[in-house]
Structure 1
Amino acid sequence: MKKIIAFAGSNSSKSINYELVKYTVSLVDDFDIQLLNMANMPFPLFSEDDERKYGYKNSLVELKEDFDEADGVILSVNEHNGNPSAYFKNLIDWISRLERKFLEDKYVFLMGTSAGKRGALGAISVTENMLPRFGAKVENVFSLPEFNMNFSAKTNTITNSNMEKEHRKQLDDFLGKLIKK
């Protein structure tokens, strides 16, 4: 069975991007899904001095092993001032020190959402350009603008039918690539 690791690039306990990831994986059958809540995974701010002095936390090594075992990644990035969050960038900095190509030949379904009309497009764009440096294949991208208007936490669904169709199209294409892999 193909394995997918799924998470949001946010460490907020109330992350709307984590809500989008949970919704997305609820639509997936016949895959082994590992859903990670990054609010439970604190990492210190990356520093080469700390890396030399303390090495790598066990949780980071285990996360890298999870990536090694996964066939694909579902990721939703949050946006701070037009960029991915400092938490997400810090996570990438740490894990790429363990293995530069930690996403080698992994398909990534990249998403993002925000309360605003741009739907985290700045963070998505930066991440879409960054992840291939680590070996990722980012071919499926989805943005959900105005999260509170277009998503119902009560029913755990995208309520805008056009956006729901686009999300499903991107998800199905991503899953199809994993099946063929």
Structure 2
Amino acid sequence: MAAILALAGSNSSTSINFKLVRHTAALIQNHEVQMLNMSRYPFPIFSEDEEKQKGYSNSLIELKNDIANANALILSVNEHNGNPSAYFKNVLDWLSRLERKFLLDTKVLLMSTAPGKRGGIGALEVIQNLLPRFGAEIASTFSLPSFHENFNENGISDETLKKQHQVALDVFLETIK
């Protein structure tokens, strides 16, 4: 049984990416899944001055430890103007200062969703290229376009997208056996 950490790259209390993560985690059996709601993790904008003056927050150290204790990561990134949110980029900046390879040997199911037809694919592609620098292995990816049309209280409503999501999840789970 693997320990899986599940989170969205958004600090919004109404994050649609967190809804996708919760749905995905609910489909997993025979593994321990820890959900992290990043809206509870405020971090100042990274700067070397901030780092020198105040060091690392307890929240940052706890997040790094949660990541280190996990065998795998389910992550759904939100998109702002075609890129990952400033919040999530900031989280990565802080984590990489604590330990450059903070995702070493971590298998990742990388997802994104957005209200638009591209489904946050711009942010997904940026993060897909960035995470391996920190040691991550991207096991599979999934992008859910037009969130409000394709997702409801029961999960992904479009059958084709539902199957694509399941395939991405299955590939991810196969890598952590």
Check whether TM > 0.5: yes
Runs of 4+ in 1 over 3 A off after TM superposition: none
SS at match of 1:102: coil
- Counterparts of 1:6-155 in structure 2 under 5 Å? 6-152=6-152, 154-155=153-154
- Distance (whole Å) between structure 2 residues aligned to residue 138 and residue 12 of structure 1: 25
Q: Is the 8 A contact 2:139 2:171 kept in 1?
A: no
Among the aligned pairs, what percent are the same residue? 55
Q: Distance in 1 between matches of 2:52 and 2:2?
A: 36
Query: How far off its partner does 1:32 sit?
Result: 0.9
Q: How many Å apart are 1:91 and its aligned residue?
A: 0.2
CA distance in 1, matches of 2:41, 2:26: 22
Q: How many residues align?
A: 177
Matched, 1:165 2:163: yes
Given candidates 162, 169, 174, the residue that maps to 1:176 is 174
RMSD over aligned Cα atoms: 0.6
Tell me how far apart the structure 2 counterparts of residues 99 and 52 of structure 1 sit (CA, whole Å): 16
SS in 2 for 1:169: helix
Letter in 2 for 1:162: T
**Distance in 1 between residues matched to 2:87 and 2:61, nearest whole Å:** 17
The alpha carbon displacement at 1:139 in A equals 2.9
Q: 8 Å contact 2:139–2:175 — kept in the other structure?
A: no
Per the TM alignment, residue 79 of structure 1 is displaced from its structure 2 partner at its CA by 0.2
Structure 2 residue ranges without an equivalent (≥5): none
Structure 1 residue ranges without an equivalent (≥5):
none
Contact residue 109 and residue 139 of structure 2 kept, 8 A: yes
Distance 1:139 1:124 in 2: 13
How much has 1:111 moved relative to structure 2? Answer: 0.2
Q: Normalized against structure 2, the TM-score is what?
A: 0.99
Using the TM superposition, give the Cα deviation of residue 98 of structure 1 relative to its aligned residue in structure 2, in angstroms. 0.4
Letter in 1 for 2:112: G
Aligned to 1:138, what secondary structure does the other structure show? strand
